[in-house]
Structure 1
């Protein structure tokens, strides 16, 4: 996978970055980007169901990349790792993320997303306090969050901004909201230089197959039903994962300490539109019976947010970032990747993941 040329920016003040959740969907994209840009990248992942070492295959063995199997809840191990690797920036992406799973098992989301973040903050704070004055000033703890902490919006008006009040609707979004507050508290109380970002729905290569877009692609390829909650009218703003990775790097190296940046693609689509677009792309590539015939509407899930939409003006204005992919170009790249990379997703479908969850957002 090839990333775009770096966005013009100041010379980065940090070159040694620890990425938590680096074997996950967004985390692996971040690791691939930073390794390509010659950062020293230390990837930490507990390798739960959504972590996949195959997503890091293109950078394993690179001299500026190290993988460490570890739990973010082990503050002592994480502190030793930061010290030994002389880390000068943390990108925290490790999280339980799937809303349906949070409805079934909310305690796991509290353990990882809240308590795990607090323990990681403790490790980062201890490490930061031991740095030289110049290193302390340059250090950043970048907490990667979601637009779901803001609740939802009416179908026909409004956007989320950095000043939108929090109103989480699910155990997942409540756990992420709590972690956001703890990160800000470590900045206000202890002075840890943090930055936060809240992103819209990501999609792209290496996406775990319980999420909407890869689930629809793979179910359609198998001739299975394509379930959509309600009438498919719920709206999400979609962001191609490589665009998000580039935005996260800019927030890490150039974001102002204590600030929050919302990252969105300005690409709102209904769930039904997304599913139909995937069907049409597959029709064009493999032919046969129309894949739209597989669409089935099912009972809505509890607390299903109506619409998410992000105003990314702050990151566009301050850091000069904009997404490069439209939803149409990014979705076409995504479908083509899944068609060409059966060796990545077939083991997941056959083993860890049985395709039972709806995965619709």
Structure 2
């Protein structure tokens, strides 16, 4: 069995589904079920004995100790995190609590459990921490992409707390010998993505006839990674990664935000045309967010060279799959767009009128 934190979230949920599609090994899914956690994502696993769910906060040391003792996982894959930059600007305390204190609590509980294993199980155990390229800060247009040795320079409360978590994971390897692995990924997209991030928000707003709010001039650049490719990369790192190492995971797809929005509009015009006009007509430029990093880009050569992983999807193929999924799963979108979600969107974008 492996223990997965945040397995009802976007990337974690996709990982759980993909893992149980391809493996018979069970998963203990530990999730607090905040606004971004949604058990409906895992509805297809109802009654599957390989999927055990525990509603537990990773800051709850006693609960974590009990789970480790009872289920004896051979590995931890740690997705659980507060992850939205805009939310971190308005409420940084939750990010410090979950991303720093939560990761520390999970690490220390795992270390205690790991210390009591026999020699063989101890050597085989892995703690895989899933992080972000945002810890490296912002690139200019001419700078080379982030590598595994790029100095950390986080610019938001979100990225600063993820950087703190990364450093704790590194320290637990070097100080205690806990066999840790860290991955730093670029922007993910795909099915089950909570609709406050760029791609699912644009799809949801487009279909609802609402404005498509683009920050600033839309020239900020991100590297886009299809979530299924990310999950495959995590499996490769878990299976073949070297303890103590970090691996950058990217899609080799640098796109300006406005390019992404225009591509989405083109796809929706093709797949679900409006009765009049184009989805492009709904694009609206709004005030940029504070400290908005200009460019992220990932150099993913290490994981390809060392572990044989590279993305299977192009941006175009992955984006089409994503749009088709949202068109076919409107009920999932309606459910996650709860009152709390709507209040947050209203708060965020009320302050960014064009």
TM-score (norm. length: structure 1): 0.94
Query: Is residue 166 of structure 1 aligned with residue 152 of structure 2?
Result: yes
Pick from 245, 267, 278 the counterpart of residue 231 of structure 2.
245
Separation in structure 1 between the aligned mates of residue 170 and residue 61 of structure 2, nearest angstrom? 19
Per-residue Cα deviation, 1:280-303 (whole angstroms, up to 9, x for no partner): 111111212210111111111111
Pick from 18, 31, 35 the counterpart of residue 33 of structure 1.
18
Separation in structure 2 between the aligned mates of residue 81 and residue 68 of structure 1, nearest angstrom? 9
State the 1:226 CA deviation.
Answer: 0.6
Query: Is residue 145 of structure 1 aligned with residue 119 of structure 2?
Result: no
Separation in structure 2 between the aligned mates of residue 263 and residue 306 of structure 1, nearest angstrom? 19
Aligned counterparts, 1:200-349, within 5 A: 200-288=186-274, 289-349=277-337
Per-residue Cα deviation, 1:105-156 (whole angstroms, up to 9, x for no partner): 0011000000000000111001101111000001000000000000010123
TM-score (norm. length: structure 2): 0.95
Report the 3-state secondary structure (helix = DSSP H, G, I; strand = E; otherwise coil) of the residue aligned with 2:341: coil
Alpha-carbon contact 2:38-2:336 (below 8 Å) kept: no
Which residue does the alignment assign to 2:7? 22
Separation in structure 1 between the aligned mates of residue 9 and residue 221 of structure 2, nearest angstrom? 24
Structure 2: runs of 5+ lacking an equivalent = none
Separation in structure 2 between the aligned mates of residue 127 and residue 250 of structure 1, nearest angstrom? 24
Per-residue Cα deviation, 1:254-310 (whole angstroms, up to 9, x for no partner): 110000000000011000000011111111112122101111111111110010000
Deviating 4+ runs (over 2 angstroms)? 355-358
Which residue does the alignment assign to 1:118? 104
Q: How many residues align?
A: 345
State the 1:58 CA deviation.
Answer: 1.4
Separation in structure 2 between the aligned mates of residue 206 and residue 351 of structure 1, nearest angstrom? 18
Per-residue Cα deviation, 1:296-337 (whole angstroms, up to 9, x for no partner): 111111110010000111110111111111010000010010
Separation in structure 1 between the aligned mates of residue 282 and residue 141 of structure 2, nearest angstrom? 26
Query: Is residue 56 of structure 1 aligned with residue 58 of structure 2?
Result: no
State the 1:350 CA deviation.
Answer: 4.1
Structure 1: runs of 5+ lacking an equivalent = 1-15
Report the 3-state secondary structure (helix = DSSP H, G, I; strand = E; otherwise coil) of the residue aligned with 2:86: helix
Structure with the larger helix share: 2
Per-residue Cα deviation, 1:71-108 (whole angstroms, up to 9, x for no partner): 00112211221221120100000000000000000011
Separation in structure 1 between the aligned mates of residue 144 and residue 236 of structure 2, nearest angstrom? 26
Structure 1 vs Structure 2 CA RMSD: 1.3
Task: State which drifts further: 111-120 or 80-89.
Answer: 80-89
Task: State which drifts further: 348-357 or 141-150.
Answer: 348-357
